[in-house]
């Protein structure tokens, strides 16, 4: 069996398993909540109401998808070990590289489907409250999806090193730090000395997830230049590939 066929087979199984985790049900609850919010905001002024709807919609979409990514990715491999299904899979001519890559692709496919479903509800909400539908929102949703995929890669990596609970906590902590790298660097530079050196190290070592956060810009009808946007997308793809590569290296060294 060719490598790509094995990866696709693992990805398909992971995708189906993720859907059984009630992802689409959560998307439906998300949509109902947004629709209820749109009704509640009906009496507000057009400016204030529009901003709250956009902020809440885009923000909730990102939070929900990220938390689901952490929950699924941090528990996937440990669950396979607990159920001993991983031993059965590894006994077949699949290979550890194909297993990790396939699982990651299946996971981000399921997360992508969830994000698409929530985006559909979000655009439906905009139509209900009479807000214009502009491409800016789609760009913010797409970069937010890339952030979710990066977080899933981080959680997968940690799940190979520690328990599911700690993997989830470490991922959450790194994600929060990833939105504060500029602030950490600025504080360190202001302090000087070792603090400046250490903050620069953290700035380089921690994934800069804030580069993928365009929510505040699109709410005000702004977008970064195309070149900057392209660099952010390339950065996210490099992170995804790098995290998957690290996960493969770690998994190959594990003994079962």
Q: Which class for 132: exposed (0-12), middle (13-18), buried (19 or more C-beta within 10 A)?
A: exposed
- pTM score above 0.85: yes
Predicted pLDDT of residue 1: 47
| pLDDT tens profile 27-42 | 767 767 766 666 566 5
> What is the domain partition of the chain in residue ranges?
3-253
Q: What mean pLDDT is reported for the chain?
A: 85
Distance from C-alpha of 115 to C-alpha of 145, rounded to nearest angstrom? 7
The upper half-sphere exposure of residue 188, i.e. CA atoms within 13 Å in the direction of its Cβ, equals: 16
Tokens of residue 86, six digits: 């991983």
Q: Mind listing the pLDDT tens digit for each residue in 122-160?
A: 888 888 777 788 888 999 999 999 999 999 999 999 999
pLDDT given at position 169: 97
User: Cα(57)–Cα(140) distance, rounded to whole angstroms?
Assistant: 11
69 neighbors 151 (Cβ within 8 angstroms): yes
- Answer for the pair 219, 55: CB distance below 8 angstroms, yes or no: yes
Question: What are the residues whose beta carbons fall under 8 Å from the beta carbon of 105, sequence distance 6 or more?
Answer: 7, 11, 14
> Is pLDDT above 70 for 186?
yes
Average pLDDT over every residue of 75-90? 73
The pLDDT assigned to 47 comes to: 57
Chain-centroid distance of CA 16 in Å reads: 19
Residue 62, pLDDT > 80, answer yes
Q: Range with the lowest mean pLDDT among 2-6, 69-73, 204-208?
A: 2-6
Q: Can you say whether residue 223 is alpha, beta or left, with left for phi > 0 and alpha for psi between -120 and 50 degrees?
A: beta
Give the side-chain half-sphere CA count within 13 A for 98: 18
- pLDDT for res 247: 96
pLDDT above 90: percentage of residues in the chain? 41
The residue with greater pLDDT, 54 or 113, is 113
pLDDT reading at 52 higher than 70: yes
């Amino acid at each position: 069996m060719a490598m790509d066929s094995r990866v696709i087979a693992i990805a398909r199984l992971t995708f189906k398993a993720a859907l059984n985790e009630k992802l689409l049900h959560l998307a439906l609850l998300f949509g109902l909540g947004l629709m209820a919010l749109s009704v509640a905001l009906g009496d507000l002024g057009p400016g204030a109401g529009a901003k709250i709807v956009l902020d809440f919609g885009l923000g909730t979409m990102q939070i929900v998808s990220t938390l689901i990514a952490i929950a699924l990715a941090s528990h996937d491999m440990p669950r396979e070990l607990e159920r001993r299904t991983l031993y059965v899979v590894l006994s077949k001519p699949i290979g550890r590289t194909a297993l990790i890559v396939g699982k990651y692709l299946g996971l981000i496919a399921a997360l992508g489907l969830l994000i698409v479903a929530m985006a559909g509800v979000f655009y439906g909400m905009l139509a209900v409250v009479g807000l214009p539908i502009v491409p800016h929102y789609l760009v913010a949703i797409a970069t937010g999806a890339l952030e979710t995929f990066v977080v899933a890669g981080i959680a997968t990596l940690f799940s190979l090193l520690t328990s599911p609970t700690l993997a989830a906590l470490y991922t959450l902590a790194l994600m929060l730090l990833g939105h504060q790298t500029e602030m950490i660097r600025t504080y360190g530079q202001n302090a000087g000395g070792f603090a400046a050196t250490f903050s620069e190290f953290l700035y380089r070592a921690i994934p800069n997830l804030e580069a993928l956060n365009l929510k505040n810009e699109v709410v005000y009808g702004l977008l970064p230049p195309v070149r900057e946007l392209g660099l952010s997308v390339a950065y996210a793809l490099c992170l995804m590939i790098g995290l998957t590569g690290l996960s493969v290296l770690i998994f190959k060294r594990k003994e079962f």
